[in-house]
């Protein structure tokens, strides 16, 4: 007799060791089976896994195990996104080195992931901070440089004037340096850029083909790329307003970009970016303007800064002539909401139809004239108050445009201005703009991939020769002073120029860590390749990733950069593919209630006792009994202390329980609320499934009966239930609806338990034993992807040799599921007269009798006898009279 209780701890350790010993999750490249590549976004080695990881990796593992059972050669690898700032901070605080800290974290987290029982091929593990990885990344950079995909441009960085160092965006808190507290300045540095904008159109257009991506992610990418079609219009500057500036280059006209040329007659002002050359020129004669520009610079010109800052402007005193009415003059403001980097760095403002412009004129009293009236409104009653109107409608207050639609008016303005020549060019030209900018990859940091470039006084920029790669990070660095240790290292940066052998220095910037994660999924296809980043054959064989799973926080940058990298790698011959991720799934977060003590301090769930009294929930301090306030349910975070440690859960309940609960409780794209009761419920299921398996085994007996030729009613019913569950779970796993699968497993288990209970101790025929054997196998197969350890134990209990993890998925016999009735079309002399629903296995005589008895048939036969009745099985009955 088997033990009543399933010993989670013993069993989980045993099966993990058995899998490991047999190396069953190791993937070979030249396997003849069809490939399936499932990947979860690799973690940053912060030191410990959190529940979000558990959820993410449990989902990926279900897919991997399911596909393996379905006969695919599955690639399911794991690695570490291992460069980045936290390692430098830790080195600074704990007097260790970033490498030591990182590798210790990797070791700890690897052990944690292994305790989850994930079916990963650990032989393919990579860490992006390893020279064996970043060597190839440096080569990629040099190949991109050769291919014209790298540029060097000036760009702004955050500069801490006290620490004399560049700060990452996350090190700037409320405009101040995180360590020094000094007000951060913007400085221009020459930096390296990857030319992602070469692919703007392609990256946008291809989104349409990614039909296994969530629509919301595609929309976010579309918005980020931000394609817009508009018009560049040249406004003539009123020379009389120029004063001493008259004649200075670039002062006689102002070029703007607009997507709404139809609103030109609603214009109230012009606005230029603080760094616009005309602003600089005007500031020369106006110190207050110079001060205003300086202030705008300090706030910064990031999109986020601009969106939150109050709209402010400064009247330069300059004016332009309206293109359709020289007598109409518009003032030029310098405004903090106009970006130099977009369009022409200048706009005309139409407050009635643009919210920013409206906010602006409300502050500066410039008036509002609506020019587009919603079709259903009378223009006389149409008033713009606090909200601009950006919808469609009919043109009003717009002279020759009146009565046109917005689209017609846009076209009319474009046509007219294209026909006017100013100097030797038309006054307006059509233009397509993108929000997407080239990707600045230079970081003034130590713990990143060194950019493989040498600066020679004589030769300029010299790539490090391929034979000298990798450019390794020096290990003897200190973090006792601010700034980049590579800059102050005594020897590392001084080298002989590879071209002229003269004195030269290394580039001390390292790459943005997003570069590291932009091609790791490619590296997994051939991770030990020392000669090159990829073997194109392997890359093309494995890619695209069939199912990628990760957090929606990576919906924009990581995915866009990876899509760009794939295209750039194709250009350089590393692979032949454009879209790296055929299927994408973004999972929801793991959330938990929050608790606060009487002193307002956050309390951890482990410090709190929650009591339920009917619908009422109350919490008290564990031990103390003081009342605790139950706060909202929020994403698990250290700051709110509402985290649950996966290690503790796995130690108490086992990995299967943790996985099961993560998958069971809500649809995978939604947030899952972690509750103690939920985990306990999952644990009960583990025990229950074990007991049920033992009971089924008892019914089957020591010998498995061969499948009989005929099944009795009860055996047929059991088979139908099992195959229905199997078919359902197949369909739902493929749609990643894990919670629905689990519900179906519960249902199957309930039905089987009831059937077992009904048998009690009465004798069981071979057909029923065979049906139970089959149903037991199906049950175990169905939960094996979610609870792999328990499944092995049950598989063994059912008398199988070998691993369920390696056995094939049972074939769902869908013919068992079809209903017992079929519907025939009934014809008289070939003409449809009615329908007949009858048992599937009814014989010809019964079908004929029932068809001839139908009212519609009797009428159509008109008292004539049937000469012949032709039956097409399961489809048609034709009565010939």
Residue 258 contacts ligand ANZ per CB under 6 A? yes
Contacting residues for 778 by C-beta, under 8 A, at least 6 apart: 722, 723, 725, 726, 748, 810
In the complex, the smallest distance separating the C-beta of residue 201 from ligand ANZ, rounded to whole angstroms, is 15
Distance, in Å, from the CA atom of 562 to the CA atom of 522, rounded to the nearest integer, reads 10
> Measuring CA to CA, which residue among 785, 782, 781 is closest to residue 795?
781
For ligand ANZ, which is the closer residue by CB, 358 or 486?
358
Q: CA 428, 431, 437 angle in degrees (round to 5)?
A: 135
As given in the structure block, the two tokens for residue 379 are: 């223009």
Q: Of these partners, Zn ion, ligand ANZ, none, which one is at the site of residue 458 (CB under 5 to 8 Å by kind)?
A: Zn ion
Residue 353 contacts ligand ANZ per CB under 6 A? yes
Among positions 388-447, residues that touch ligand ANZ (CB under 6 A) are 433
Residue 641 contacts ligand ANZ per CB under 6 A? no
* Window of 82-90, 349-357, 410-418, 465-473 that interacts with ligand ANZ by CB under 6 A: 349-357
Which DSSP string corresponds to 401-461? GTT-BHHHHHHHHHHHHHHSEETTEESEEEEEE-S---EE-EE--SSSPBP-EEEETTTEE
Binding footprint of ligand ANZ, residue count (CB under 6 A): 17
For ligand ANZ, which is the closer residue by CB, 350 or 790?
350
For ligand ANZ, which is the closer residue by CB, 324 or 342?
342
Q: CA 558, 561, 562 angle in degrees (round to 5)?
A: 80
Residue 347 contacts ligand ANZ per CB under 6 A? yes
For ligand ANZ, which is the closer residue by CB, 259 or 429?
259
For Zn ion, which is the closer residue by CB, 403 or 502?
502
For Zn ion, which is the closer residue by CB, 371 or 495?
495
Question: Using an 8 Å Cβ cutoff, are 271 and 349 in contact?
Answer: yes
Q: Which helix (H) or strand (E) holds 167?
A: strand 165-167
In the complex, the smallest distance separating the C-beta of residue 343 from ligand ANZ, rounded to whole angstroms, is 3
Residues lying near Zn ion in the complex (CB under 5 A): 456, 458-459, 497, 499-500, 502
Question: Using an 8 Å Cβ cutoff, are 721 and 782 in contact?
Answer: no
Distance, in Å, from the CA atom of 670 to the CA atom of 659, rounded to the nearest integer, reads 16
In the complex, the smallest distance separating the C-beta of residue 228 from ligand ANZ, rounded to whole angstroms, is 3
In the complex, the smallest distance separating the C-beta of residue 473 from Zn ion, rounded to whole angstroms, is 24
Residue number with the smallest Cβ distance to ligand ANZ: 353
* Window of 201-209, 258-266, 326-334, 804-812 that interacts with ligand ANZ by CB under 6 A: 258-266
CA atoms within 13 A on the CB side of 423: 8
For Zn ion, which is the closer residue by CB, 206 or 499?
499
Q: Of these partners, Zn ion, ligand ANZ, none, which one is at the site of residue 499 (CB under 5 to 8 Å by kind)?
A: Zn ion
In the complex, the smallest distance separating the C-beta of residue 781 from ligand ANZ, rounded to whole angstroms, is 53
Q: Of these partners, ligand ANZ, Zn ion, none, which one is at the site of residue 180 (CB under 5 to 8 Å by kind)?
A: none
Distance, in Å, from the CA atom of 234 to the CA atom of 255, rounded to the nearest integer, reads 4
For ligand ANZ, which is the closer residue by CB, 431 or 609?
431
For Zn ion, which is the closer residue by CB, 458 or 880?
458
As given in the structure block, the two tokens for residue 253 are: 């006209």
Question: What 3-state class would DSSP assign to 548?
Answer: strand
Among positions 326-345, residues that touch ligand ANZ (CB under 6 A) are 338-339, 342-343, 345
For ligand ANZ, which is the closer residue by CB, 353 or 833?
353
For Zn ion, which is the closer residue by CB, 451 or 568?
451
As given in the structure block, the two tokens for residue 33 are: 């089976």
In the complex, the smallest distance separating the C-beta of residue 260 from ligand ANZ, rounded to whole angstroms, is 4
* Window of 256-264, 281-289, 391-399, 491-499 that interacts with ligand ANZ by CB under 6 A: 256-264
Distance, in Å, from the CA atom of 631 to the CA atom of 608, rounded to the nearest integer, reads 12
Residue 259 contacts ligand ANZ per CB under 6 A? yes
3-state secondary structure string across 607-672: HEEEEEECCEEEEEECCCCCEEEEEEEEECCCCCCCCCCHHHHHHHHCHHHHHHHHHHCCCCCCCE
Distance, in Å, from the CA atom of 748 to the CA atom of 724, rounded to the nearest integer, reads 9
Q: Of these partners, Zn ion, ligand ANZ, none, which one is at the site of residue 433 (CB under 5 to 8 Å by kind)?
A: ligand ANZ
How far the first Cα of the chain sits from its last, in Å, is: 70
Residue 89 contacts ligand ANZ per CB under 6 A? no
Q: Of these partners, Zn ion, ligand ANZ, none, which one is at the site of residue 338 (CB under 5 to 8 Å by kind)?
A: ligand ANZ
Q: Output helix, strand, coil percentages for the chain, rounded to the nearest 5.
A: 40, 20, 35
Distance, in Å, from the CA atom of 48 to the CA atom of 185, rounded to the nearest integer, reads 35
* Window of 347-355, 479-487, 688-696, 849-857 that interacts with ligand ANZ by CB under 6 A: 347-355
Q: Of these partners, Zn ion, ligand ANZ, none, which one is at the site of residue 199 (CB under 5 to 8 Å by kind)?
A: none
As given in the structure block, the two tokens for residue 336 are: 């903090």
In the complex, the smallest distance separating the C-beta of residue 333 from ligand ANZ, rounded to whole angstroms, is 12
| Residue 234, beta-bridge partner list | 255
Give the max Cα distance, the chain.
113
Of the residues 50, 76, 260, 445, which one makes contact with ligand ANZ according to CB under 6 A = 260
Residue 486 contacts ligand ANZ per CB under 6 A? no
Q: Of these partners, ligand ANZ, Zn ion, none, which one is at the site of residue 257 (CB under 5 to 8 Å by kind)?
A: ligand ANZ
> Measuring CA to CA, which residue among 229, 435, 431, 268 is closest to residue 353?
268
Residue 228 contacts ligand ANZ per CB under 6 A? yes
For Zn ion, which is the closer residue by CB, 303 or 500?
500
Of the residues 101, 348, 360, 683, which one makes contact with ligand ANZ according to CB under 6 A = 348
Distance, in Å, from the CA atom of 52 to the CA atom of 746, rounded to the nearest integer, reads 25
* Window of 348-356, 378-386, 506-514, 619-627 that interacts with ligand ANZ by CB under 6 A: 348-356
Distance, in Å, from the CA atom of 433 to the CA atom of 461, rounded to the nearest integer, reads 31
In the complex, the smallest distance separating the C-beta of residue 50 from ligand ANZ, rounded to whole angstroms, is 37
Q: Of these partners, ligand ANZ, Zn ion, none, which one is at the site of residue 847 (CB under 5 to 8 Å by kind)?
A: none
Distance, in Å, from the CA atom of 408 to the CA atom of 855, rounded to the nearest integer, reads 63
For ligand ANZ, which is the closer residue by CB, 60 or 349?
349
Question: Using an 8 Å Cβ cutoff, are 224 and 435 in contact?
Answer: yes
Q: Which residues bind ligand ANZ (CB under 6 A)?
A: 228, 257-260, 263, 338-339, 342-343, 345, 347-348, 350, 353-354, 433
């Amino acid at each position: 007799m088997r033990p009543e209780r399933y010993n989670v701890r013993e069993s989980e350790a045993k099966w993990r060791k058995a899998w490991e010993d047999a190396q069953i999750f190791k993937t070979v490249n030249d396997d003849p089976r069809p490939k399936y590549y499932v990947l979860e976004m690799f973690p940053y080695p912060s030191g410990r896994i959190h529940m979000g990881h558990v959820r993410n990796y449990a989902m990926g593992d279900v897919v991997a195990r399911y596909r393996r059972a379905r006969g695919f050669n599955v690639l399911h690898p794991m690695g570490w996104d291992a460069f980045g700032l936290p390692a430098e901070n830790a080195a600074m605080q704990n007097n260790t080195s970033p490498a030591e800290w990182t590798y210790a974290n990797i070791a700890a987290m690897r052990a944690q992931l292994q305790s989850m029982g994930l079916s990963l091929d650990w032989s393919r593990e990579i860490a992006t901070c390893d020279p064996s990885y970043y060597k190839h990344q440096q080569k990629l950079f040099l190949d991109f440089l050769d291919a014209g995909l790298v540029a060097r441009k000036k760009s702004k960085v955050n500069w801490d004037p006290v620490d004399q160092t560049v700060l990452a965006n996350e090190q700037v808190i409320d405009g101040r340096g995180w360590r020094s507290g000094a007000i951060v300045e913007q400085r221009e540095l020459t930096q390296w850029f990857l030319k992602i904008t070469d692919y703007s159109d392609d990256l946008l257009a291809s989104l349409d083909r990614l039909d296994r991506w969530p629509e919301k992610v595609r929309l976010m990418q579309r918005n980020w790329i931000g394609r817009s079609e508009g018009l560049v219009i040249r406004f003539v500057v009123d020379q009389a307003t120029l004063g001493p500036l008259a004649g200075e280059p670039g002062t006689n006209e102002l070029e703007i970009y607009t997507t709404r040329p139809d609103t030109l007659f609603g214009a109230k002002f012009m606005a230029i970016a603080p760094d616009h050359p005309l602003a600089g020129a005007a500031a020369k004669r106006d110190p207050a303007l110079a001060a205003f520009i300086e202030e705008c610079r300090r706030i910064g010109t990031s999109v986020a800064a601009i969106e939150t800052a109050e709209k402010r402007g400064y009247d330069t005193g300059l004016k332009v002539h309206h293109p359709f009415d020289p007598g109409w003059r518009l003032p030029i403001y310098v405004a903090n909401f106009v970006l130099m980097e977009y369009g022409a760095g200048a706009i005309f403002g139409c407050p009635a139809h643009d919210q920013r412009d409206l906010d602006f004129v409300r502050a500066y009293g410039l008036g509002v004239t609506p020019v587009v009236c919603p079709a259903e409104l009378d223009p006389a009653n149409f008033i713009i108050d606090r909200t601009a109107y950006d919808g469609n409608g009919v043109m009003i207050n717009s002279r020759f445009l009146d009565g046109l639609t917005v689209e017609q008016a846009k076209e009319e303005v474009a046509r007219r201005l294209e026909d006017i020549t100013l100097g030797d060019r038309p006054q307006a030209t059509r233009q397509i703009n993108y929000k997407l900018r080239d990707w600045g990859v230079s970081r003034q940091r130590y713990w990143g991939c060194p950019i493989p470039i040498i600066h020679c006084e004589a030769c300029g920029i010299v790539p490090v020769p391929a034979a000298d790669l990798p450019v390794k990070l020096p290990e003897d660095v200190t973090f006792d002073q601010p700034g980049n240790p590579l800059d102050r290292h005594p020897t590392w940066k001084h080298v002989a120029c590879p071209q002229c052998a003269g004195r030269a220095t290394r580039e001390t910037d390292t790459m943005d860590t997003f570069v590291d994660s932009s091609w790791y999924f490619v590296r997994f296809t051939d991770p030990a390749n020392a000669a090159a980043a990829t073997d194109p054959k392997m890359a093309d064989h494995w890619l695209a990733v069939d199912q990628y799973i990760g957090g929606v926080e990576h919906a924009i940058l990581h995915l866009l950069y990876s899509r760009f990298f794939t295209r750039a790698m194709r250009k350089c011959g590393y692979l032949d593919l454009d879209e790296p991720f055929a299927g994408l799934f973004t999972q929801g977060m793991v959330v938990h209630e929050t608790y606060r003590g009487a002193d307002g301090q956050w309390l951890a769930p482990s410090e709190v006792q929650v009591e339920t009294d009917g619908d009422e929930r109350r919490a008290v301090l564990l031990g103390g009994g003081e009342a605790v306030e139950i706060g909202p349910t929020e994403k698990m975070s250290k700051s709110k202390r509402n985290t649950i440690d996966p290690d503790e859960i796995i130690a108490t309940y086992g990995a299967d329980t943790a996985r099961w609960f993560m998958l069971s409780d809500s649809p995978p794209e939604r947030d899952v609320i972690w509750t103690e009761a939920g985990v306990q419920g999952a644990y009960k299921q583990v025990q229950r499934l074990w007991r049920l398996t033992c009971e089924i085994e008892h019914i089957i007996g020591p010998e498995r009966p061969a499948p009989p030729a005929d099944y009795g009613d009860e055996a047929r019913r059991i088979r139908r239930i099992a195959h229905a569950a199997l078919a359902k779970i197949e369909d739902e796993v493929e749609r990643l609806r894990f919670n629905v699968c689990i519900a179906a497993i519960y249902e199957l288990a309930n039905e089987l338990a009831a059937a077992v209970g009904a048998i009690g101790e009465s004798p069981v025929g071979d057909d029923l034993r065979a049906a139970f054997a089959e149903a037991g196998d199906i049950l175990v197969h169905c939960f094996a992807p979610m609870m792999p350890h328990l499944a092995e134990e049950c598989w063994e209990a059912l008398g199988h040799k070998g691993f369920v993890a390696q056995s094939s998925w049972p074939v769902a016999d869908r013919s068992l599921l079809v209903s017992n009735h079929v519907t025939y079309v009934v014809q008289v002399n070939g003409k449809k007269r009615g329908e007949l629903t009858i048992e599937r296995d009814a014989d010809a005589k019964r079908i004929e009798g029932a068809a001839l008895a139908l009212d519609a048939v009797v009428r159509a036969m008109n008292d004539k006898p049937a000469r012949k009745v032709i039956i097409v099985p399961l489809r048609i009955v034709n009565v010939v009279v």
